[in-house]
């Protein structure tokens, strides 16, 4: 046997043994962690918001707010009185785009060594036919990248929720207020990270 025939024979054995022309089963797509539940009730919307904060998931965070393009109402945020007077220009016309920008900035400036959490207490839910009022005291814990510790804001939130024609609930109005003049509220955190 000549060398070209040996090479051809070895190549033929190698090719037939490897099945390089045979299709293979594709790998499943990579998916990030997602605890987003279909928002079929006001409580699920709030749970989705808490999960989005814990997961640092901007898409799920923004999905908690009303979208007029899917039949929902326009979203508005009313800052706590102290923050509203201190950061008046920032909170004028605050909507979903500003929520997304603030949350993106917050995530990018945060430490990954600690987890974040939204803790709610004194919850009050008043349901209506196609809307609901949700009120709670909150503590938002967020890991600070610069100081390497948890940043904490506290206050009271009031969510006004509505249901769109497809049956999905979302927050269309958010009113923030402080429980103390000395403690920073969520509004202060939004103002801090809105222009980063």
Q: Which residues of the chain have pLDDT under 50?
A: 6, 9-15, 17-18, 20-32, 196
Q: Are 114 and 143 in contact (CB under 8 A)?
A: yes
- Is 25 a member of any domain? no
> And the tokens for 164?
């769109």
Element (H, E) at 173: strand 169-177
- Is 4 a member of any domain? no
Residue 32: other Cβ atoms inside 10 A: 8
Residues composing the chain: 196
- Is 6 a member of any domain? no
Question: What's the predicted TM-score (pTM) here?
Answer: 0.81
Residue 72: other Cβ atoms inside 10 A: 20
Residue 41 burial (10 A CB sphere; 0-12, 13-18, 19+): middle
- Is 29 a member of any domain? no
Domain interval for residue 190: 42-194
What's the pLDDT at 113?
74
- Is 2 a member of any domain? no
**Rounded to an integer, what distance in angstroms lies between the CA atom of residue 46 and that of residue 64?**
8
- Is 107 a member of any domain? yes
> What is the per-residue pLDDT across 59-103, written as a single tens digit (0 to 9) for each?
999 999 999 888 889 999 999 999 999 999 999 999 999 999 999
What's the pLDDT at 188?
94
What's the pLDDT at 118?
97
- Is 17 a member of any domain? no
Q: Which CATH number goes with the domain that contains 156?
A: 3.10.450.50
What's the pLDDT at 182?
80
Residue 127: other Cβ atoms inside 10 A: 13
- Is 5 a member of any domain? no
Tally of structural domains, the chain:
1
Alpha helices in the chain (DSSP H): 3-18, 42-55, 58-62, 81-86, 88-91, 96-108, 186-194
> And the tokens for 68?
């007029």
Measured CA to CA in angstroms, residue 29 lies from 26, 32, 33, 60 at distances of 9, 10, 13, 19
């Amino acid at each position: 046997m000549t060398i070209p025939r040996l090479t051809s024979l070895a190549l033929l054995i190698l090719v037939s043994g490897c099945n390089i022309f045979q299709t293979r089963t594709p790998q499943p797509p990579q998916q990030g962690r997602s605890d987003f539940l279909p928002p079929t009730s006001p409580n699920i919307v709030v749970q989705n918001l808490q999960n989005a904060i814990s997961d640092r998931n901007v898409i799920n965070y923004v999905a908690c707010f009303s979208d007029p393009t899917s039949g929902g109402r326009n979203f508005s945020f009313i800052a706590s009185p102290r923050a509203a007077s201190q950061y008046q220009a920032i909170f004028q016309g605050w909507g979903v785009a500003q929520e997304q920008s603030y949350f993106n900035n917050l995530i990018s400036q945060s430490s990954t060594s600690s987890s974040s959490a939204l803790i709610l207490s004194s919850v009050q839910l008043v349901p209506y036919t196609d809307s609901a009022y949700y009120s709670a005291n909150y503590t938002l814990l967020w890991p600070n990248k610069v100081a390497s510790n948890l940043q904490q804001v506290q206050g009271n939130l009031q969510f006004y929720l509505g249901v769109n024609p497809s049956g999905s609930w979302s927050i269309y109005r958010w009113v923030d207020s402080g429980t103390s003049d000395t403690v920073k509220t969520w509004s202060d955190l939004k103002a801090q990270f809105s222009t980063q």
